[in-house]
Structure 1
Amino acid sequence: MHELSIAESLIKIIREEMAKHGLTKLLNVKIVYGQISAIVPEALETAFEVLTVNTPFEGAKVECEVKPMMVRCRQCGEEFSPSHEERMIMPCPKCATEFGHEIIAGRELYIENIEAE
């Protein structure tokens, strides 16, 4: 369960950002992750909850948003989001090229918003 180590890193980042702004109580955090980043949102939320027991972060709402996978066709440059069924063979909707596309989105993991007081 790599979500535990991810939650630890996110908590560290949140703690540092809150300290910069003199904030002490976390209310809400929005985390954005890519569709192919192998994040299980429920596991991440549970890990965050477990790691924040008896801390100023306890009870904070964790919101997770998934960003779809996007690729750029190696042949014509068209950018598109393949369906789940097309992840191995991804035919370009413009030129039908099936292989060798560049993944341009879907692997990200970042904190989009922190609400604290």
Structure 2
Amino acid sequence: MHETGLCDAIVQAILHRAEGRRVTSVRVRVGGHVGGHEIDPAVIDQGFRVAAAGTPAQDADVEVVIEPLSVRCRGCSREAPAVDASTLVACPRCGGVDIEVNGGTEVHLEMIVFEPTEGKPAKACALSHGFEDLFVGERRVHSHSHSGAQTCGRGDDGGAT
């Protein structure tokens, strides 16, 4: 199953940031067509549970946000969600075949929340400073957050505290 490898990579990226701390929740944005087939959030959640078993992330709440596949016609500039295979071949507005596929194929680890320790409140680790590619096995997982989010640093721009 494709999702198993994907979930393994997500958990490894989380554990890389956690540095042994217990993880209470995570938010992952997954393209709806990663690996060329439609992704089911329930399967991602179940795969995460299996991959995280016995780790500091095993009891984490997982929010899976599905990023839909979208297309843009270079001829008429129409942008729309890819609702079926025909929209990947020709533009429904103008019939043009110069179609650009956007989104829906990436994985972003957007947020990790750690359990409070030693009287400190829970800390949300929103991974900022753009994208950081984490290579785990053959999978690539992007750690990312929206601007303005709190950054967790190990003394550099890429880590968690």
Please state which band the TM-score falls in when normalised by the shorter chain.
0.7 to 0.9
Offset at residue 65 of structure 1 (A): 1.0
Of residues 104, 107, 124, the one that matches 1:106 is 104
Secondary structure of 1:55 counterpart: coil
Q: Work out the CA distance in 1 between the residues paired with 2:91 and 2:109.
A: 32
Structure number with greater CO (CA < 8 Å, separation at least 6) is: 1
> Which residue is equivalent to 1:46?
46
Alignment of 1:1-117 (within 5 A): 1-19=1-19, 24-37=21-34, 38=37, 39-84=39-84, 86-93=86-93, 96-117=94-115
TM-score, structure 2 normalization: 0.60
C-alpha contact (below 8 Å) 1:73/1:97 kept by paired residues: no
Equivalences, count: 112
Aligned CA distance change for structure 1 residues 31 and 78 (closer, same or farther; 3 Å): same
Secondary structure of 2:58 counterpart: coil
Q: Work out the CA distance in 2 between the residues paired with 1:88 and 1:7.
A: 27
Shift >4 Å, 4+ stretches: none
Identity %: 25
Q: Work out the CA distance in 2 between the residues paired with 1:27 and 1:15.
A: 12
Mind listing any 5+ residue stretches in structure 1 that lack a counterpart? Answer: none
Secondary structure of 2:29 counterpart: strand
Q: Which has the higher helix share?
A: 1
Q: Work out the CA distance in 2 between the residues paired with 1:36 and 1:99.
A: 21
Offset at residue 81 of structure 1 (A): 1.9
C-alpha contact (below 8 Å) 1:78/1:92 kept by paired residues: no
Offset at residue 13 of structure 1 (A): 0.8
Q: Work out the CA distance in 1 between the residues paired with 2:82 and 2:55.
A: 41
Which amino acid in structure 1 is aligned with residue 105 of structure 2? R
Mind listing any 5+ residue stretches in structure 2 that lack a counterpart? Answer: 116-161
